[in-house]
Amino acid sequence: MNAPTSTREPDTRALDDAAVARIRADFPILAREVNGHPLVYLDSGATSQKPQSVIDVERAYYDTVNAAVHRGAHTLAGEATELFENARATVARFVGAADDEIVWTSNATEGLNLLAYSMSNASLGRGGEDAARFRLGPGDEIVVTELEHHANLVPWQELAFRTGATLRVIGLDDEGRIRLDEGPDAAANVIGARTRLVAFTHVSNVLGAVNPVERLVDLAHAVGALVVLDACQSAPHLPLDLHALDVDFAVFSGHKMLAPTGIGVLYGRSELLNALPPFLTGGSMITTVGLTESEFLPAPMRFEAGTQRVSQAIALATACDYLDAIGMHRIEAWEAALGQRLYEGLAGIPGVRILGPAPDARTERVGLASFVVDGIHSHDVGQFLDDRGIAVRVGHHCAQPVHRRYGITATTRASAYLYTTTAEVDAAIEAVADSRSFFRVA
């Protein structure tokens, strides 16, 4: 199968609305109307739209190759396996990892649960002495931050329950920055001799700020703790080099970065993955199976039991190629500009409160803003915008603790991507301003 790829040559020029207009032509859904208006899609933080090349490559796989990987000796099986493993290599390059450090999952949530349950198995003695560093028990501590998505919080709550470990939380300051040094809930005071694991997000899906990965990694590694990075909101939007970041594990989901649903990635340093006992077990992840015990393949296959997500993995690789052809540095800069425009426009509306720190020399933000309009429920704001064809997210965004930290239950969230124009950001700002008159709170 000759997979469709982007024909765009790599470009170092900054993105502008003219360049974005050409990019938008690759996305069929962006041509549709909603409620009689051109679609303005500002919900990419939840899930991204897909370019035609990604849509085509998944269909082409089923049209011409479809077969089970790693199992058959016939031509189709060989071609499918080659495409599948080539996809792994492409995604590994995209995030600065080695091929055998990429584990396919259904999504980031599965990757985090895989880690948590594998550590539970290690805590029960599975994996022998090689897995000793993953064992947890009473007196050990797991550290998270107050701004985590539920997917990077609930699995660690459950791991603490199963092992008797204690879950501790790094707090946020009033502006929405992670406390690093000052206060009893600052990272420097929470991470200590008993810390075994520190899990945090690279970019908050509510606050939009890029978090201080280097400092948190240094604090964790200084006490011998493992680091788990939630890269769901960074892999699609920022150049990502997991080796350079020096994290031990990371997760991200394909559907947020132009790929289909049903595919995600768990990254782990090779020596750690090979020492970690598996969680999902069954076919395709074993070397020898007896009636009473089994032996497992090296990573990453030991974590990939059962029939795999072949077409989705190939499509994720195509999405990575598409993003690379545009240039992640260009995407990062464009979204930062959109994010500042969005932040400043919303901040200029009376009665609008934006969560998270303002973009400045201290804080890098992505193109995302969660906000409250005084006197209007977030669901009503979202419905008002939808009537104008503007798609945004409403609710707590699977991050109740950070909303609770700032005394609110729900926000409206607008999130941009490489296909978002300045006119679309301006339309959203205008609609939010108009909502105040419509609901008579102006």
* Cα separations in angstroms, 167 against 135, 137, 162: 15, 12, 12
Neighbours of 239 (CB within 10 A): 18
Place of tokens 């190939």: 314
SS (H, E, C) the chain: CCCCCCCCCCCCCCCCHHHHHHHHCCCHHHHCEECCEECEECECCCCCCCCHHHHHHHHHHHHHCCCCCCCCCCHHHHHHHHHHHHHHHHHHHHCCCCHHHEEEECCHHHHHHHHHHHHHHHHCCCCHHHHHHHCCCCCCEEEEECCCCHHHCHHHHHHHHHHCCEEEEECECCCCCECCCCCCCCHHHHCCCCEEEEEEECECCCCCEECCHHHHHHHHHHCCCEEEEECCCCCCCCCCCHHHHCCCEEEEEHHHCCCCCCCEEEEECHHHHHHCCCCCCCCCCEEEECCCCEEECCCCHHHCCCCCCHHHHHHHHHHHHHHHHHCHHHHHHHHHHHHHHHHHHHHCCCCEEECCCCCCCCCCECCEEEEEECCECHHHHHHHHHHCCEECEEECCCCHHHHHHCCCCCEEEEECCCCCCHHHHHHHHHHHHHHHHHCCCC
**Catalytic residue flag (residue 232):** no
The one catalytic residue among 286, 297, 398, 408? 398
CA-based max dimension of the chain: 72
Place of tokens 């969560």: 355
* Torsion sign across C-alpha atoms 112, 117, 121, 123: positive
Task: Check: CB of residue 381 under 8 Å from CB of residue 373.
Answer: yes
Cα-to-chain-centroid distance, residue 175: 23
Active site residues: 398
